[in-house]
Structure 1
Amino acid sequence: MKSAFTGTGAIARITGAAMLIGTLAVQHPNPMFNRLQRKDTFALLPNWRFFAPEPAVHDYHFFYRTLNTAGETSPWRAVDLIAGRRLHQIFWFPSRRTEKAVFDISSEMLQMLDKGFSEVIRTPAYRVITAYLRERVHTETTGGVRGFQFALARATGHDTSTTPEMLFVSPYTPMDPAPAPATARPRIRGGSLRVR
């Protein structure tokens, strides 16, 4: 044991052992170990905690309903994008990206909600979810649908003892959206076409 700390390469072994112990220590969830990370000015000790410092404890779910040409509203339908877990997903789980997209879209919309609905509908997240739902309604229905409405709810995941909380309900969205008006006018200057 004494030879591990003396002789050629002793400094490298001591440094490696200190780095290993320090790295393991800063992974510990107890706040007492955060002192070591605060003293790590140059960020030499990596933080590889498996979960985020504040892990997500809710799942977001989208629901939609349609409005037909007779003015009747369908019941709410869940948009099931979160699949049950399988054993092979420990190694290969590309469909997890869909769940991440739902979380990111929901988070972006909710961050803008306090600025008003007019700001929410300008976000890429709102446009992505309306385009996705428009395509889904188009493929799932046989026709006669004028528009749809969607809702965003937050639930606790596998804990079914709590009721999902409704966070956002959109107005009815037409199936055939009107094209956006052109805001740029072409202008020719110096023989080249420029858009302003």
Structure 2
Amino acid sequence: MSAFDAGLTAVFTVWLAATVCAQLPATFPRWEKLLKFDVARLLPRYHFFAPFPDTYDYHLLVRVRSREGRPGPWREITAEPERTRWSAVWHPGRRECKLLRDLAESLRLSDPQCAEPGTLVSNPYLLLLNHAVAAVRTDSAATGGEVQFLIATTVGRAGANPPQPLFLSRHHRVPARPCQGP
């Protein structure tokens, strides 16, 4: 083995050891300080295991209140991603689940009662409202009515436990046609 090969092996060995230590900040607390000097981001940080793993599923439900003021039934608009044998490797449908979870957690932590005026113009609220309006736009009862969305959580297998409400939006008028860009 040449000196160049030995040096290259040493560099990659140190890099591998530093990458392993960077994954375990609780075990190696001094690494947090050293990671500040990794401005080129040469040490990847993987988070395979969350400190508090999800133990429940999120569901987005909508209902339409007619012009007469009668609320319709709740209807779930989140689709469970289809699982295939390739899901462990390629599963883009999980992004929608993650997005819903992130938006729901943001609303739950910032304003769970939907009481603050700023909540109505926040990005998580507007994204979910846009999705809800798009889901009911073809519903004939929605014409001239109002839409409301609910984020609920369930624990365990589907249907095993009743959903628990997490966030309830205000009522919003459903526009007659989609908004057009400039």
- What is the TM-score when the length of structure 2 is the normalising length? 0.70
What corresponds to 1:191 in structure 2? none
From the CA coordinates, give the structure whose radius of gyration is larger: 1
Residue identity matched to 1:40: L
Mean Cα deviation higher: 40-49 or 95-104? 40-49
How far the C-alpha of 1:60 sits from its partner, in A, is 2.4
Is 1:24 the counterpart of 2:23 in the alignment?
Answer: no
- The count of residues paired between Structure 1 and Structure 2 equals 169
Which of 80, 95, 98 is the matching residue for 2:96?
98
Q: Deviations over 1:66-117 (max 9, x none)?
A: 2224433222221223313222333433333322332232233234316833
What corresponds to 2:130 in structure 1? 131
Unaligned stretches of 5+ in structure 1? 178-196
Q: Which has the higher contact order (CA 8 A, sep 6+)?
A: 2
1: distance between equivalents of 2:142 and 2:169?
21
Structure-2 change in CA distance of 1:28 and 1:64 (3 Å): same
Structure-2 change in CA distance of 1:19 and 1:119 (3 Å): same
Unaligned stretches of 5+ in structure 2? 177-182
Aligned-residue Cα RMSD (Å) equals 3.3
Which of 13, 32, 37 is the matching residue for 2:31?
37
Q: Is the 8 A contact 2:64 2:142 kept in 1?
A: no
Structure-2 change in CA distance of 1:78 and 1:11 (3 Å): same
How far the C-alpha of 1:121 sits from its partner, in A, is 0.5
How far the C-alpha of 1:120 sits from its partner, in A, is 0.9
Q: Is the 8 A contact 1:63 1:151 kept in 2?
A: yes
Q: Is the 8 A contact 2:153 2:164 kept in 1?
A: yes
What corresponds to 2:180 in structure 1? none
**Secondary structure of the structure 1 residue equivalent to 2:15:** helix
Q: Is the 8 A contact 1:57 1:156 kept in 2?
A: yes
Identity of aligned residues (%): 24
Q: Deviations over 1:128-168 (max 9, x none)?
A: 222221221122x2346522222112334648665433122
Which of 57, 60, 71 is the matching residue for 1:59?
57
Q: Is the 8 A contact 1:153 1:165 kept in 2?
A: yes
How far the C-alpha of 1:36 sits from its partner, in A, is 6.1
